[in-house]
Amino acid sequence: MSFDLDDISDWFWNIIRGAAKDRFALERIIERLSSEQIYRFALEFLEASSRLQEKPFTYFVTPGSSEDDVEEISWWVVSQGKEFYSNVWRHPENMPSAELVEDNSSQILYSVAEGILDDKLGEEGPDVREDYAKFLTSPYSRVDAYLKAQQEHDR
């Protein structure tokens, strides 16, 4: 499945913009959403960030960075918003350094949605990472289309 920048919805990017790199602001936004919307947001975050954990982006990560570092860098890039993400997507050489991300790690918005989803649904809630792996093997290129097909299938 190929990936295009438009595979990440404007809905997702509008939430990221509204949070303005602030985890607490994102919590306030996410708490107002339905469980289904929170789940969708978490899946889209994984979709956007995981694409930056592949070549050619990894060529430009600080030498000696671990897989965890690469993951955190990708989360940070997504957390900066659509414009920053798009710039990195088009110019992989603009991947930020591990040091820059470490110095600004408070701006990483990853896991906020999953934490709220866990609080709302407990053990009955979905395993977002496991479900993301299922999405990757599906014929869908967009999370929203995948979720719609899942809902129709469950009816």
DSSP string, 92-132: GGGPPPHHHHHHTGGG--TTHHHHHHHHHHGGGS--HHHHH
pLDDT tens digit sequence for 27-63:
999 999 999 999 999 999 999 999 999 999 999 998 9
Q: Using the Cα atoms of residue 98, residue 100, residue 104 and residue 110 in order, give the sign of their dihedral.
A: negative
In angstroms, the Cα distances linking 17 to 11, 96, 129, 153 are 10, 19, 23, 32
pLDDT tens sequence across 108-121: 999 999 999 999 99
| pTM for this entry | 0.92
More confident site: 39 or 153: 39
What is the number of domains present in the chain?
1
Among candidate residues 112, 120, 110, the one with its CA nearest the CA of residue 35:
120
Residue 25 has φ and ψ, to the nearest 5°, of: -65, -40
Is residue 107 a part of any domain in this protein? yes
Is residue 14 in a domain?
A: yes
Question: When comparing pLDDT for 92 and 1, which is higher?
Answer: 92
Say if 1 falls within a structural domain: no
- Predicted local confidence at residue 99, as pLDDT: 93
d(CA 63, CA 76): 18
**Contact (Cβ atoms closer than 8 angstroms) between residue 1 and residue 87:** no
Q: What are the pLDDT digits (tens) for 119-128?
A: 999 888 899 9
Domain enclosing residue 68, as ranges: 7-154
pLDDT at 1: 52
Average pLDDT value for the chain: 94
What pLDDT is stored for residue 122 in this prediction? 86
Mean pLDDT of 17-25: 98
pLDDT digits (tens, 9 = 90+) for 56-98: 999 999 899 999 999 999 999 999 999 999 999 999 999 999 9
